[in-house]
Amino acid sequence: MRIGELSRLTGVSERALRYYEEQELLRPLRRPSGYREYSDAHVDTVRNIRTLLAAGLGTVTIAEVLPCMVDADGQLAVACPELLDDLVRERDRITAAMDELAAARTMLNTIIARPAPAGADVAMDCDEAVGA
């Protein structure tokens, strides 16, 4: 199948599919005319790439882990045990980022909920500060 058909079947833009190829996540056959030729297996590969992207992995990491992933009843599973440490590190990195964002949200909630004290001296006109 050609790239347009793969795009239609997966819901992924042709541009993204070309990017996946540049990142060596997809390896279509090339016809003598230069057209890419995709197989049904590429549909599954694209879906797996999308799953790993949704899991927070970057394309460099996906290129490393994708060959060690298998489809287990419609979900990805790790086929190479040595990959687990890398995935745990990625999960921990995402957890730390989430914790930082949650702390920032808590601080903003605190600032938003706290009114200025009565008679507070405002250094500048509030309208100027917000660009009104």
| Span 53-104, pLDDT tens digits | 999 899 999 999 999 998 888 788 898 988 899 899 999 999 999 999 999 9
pLDDT band per the 50, 70, 90 thresholds, residue 122? low
Looking at residue 73, its pLDDT comes to 81
Q: Is 107 within a domain?
A: no
CA separation for the pair 103, 62 (Å, rounded): 29
Residue 17 lies in a domain: yes
Predicted confidence (pLDDT) at residue 132 exceeds the cutoff of 60: no
CATH label of the domain that carries residue 76: 1.10.1660.10
Q: Which residues pair with 75 in a beta bridge?
A: 72
| pTM metric for this prediction | 0.74
According to the model, what pLDDT value does residue 116 have? 83
* Residue 121 belongs to a domain: no
* Residue 57 φ then ψ, to 5°: -85, 145
Q: What pLDDT, on a 0 to 100 scale, did the predictor assign at position 21?
A: 95
Range of the domain at 48: 3-80
Note whether residue 115 is domain-resident.
no
Task: For the chain, give the mean pLDDT.
Answer: 89
- How many angstroms separate the most distant Cα atoms in the chain? 79
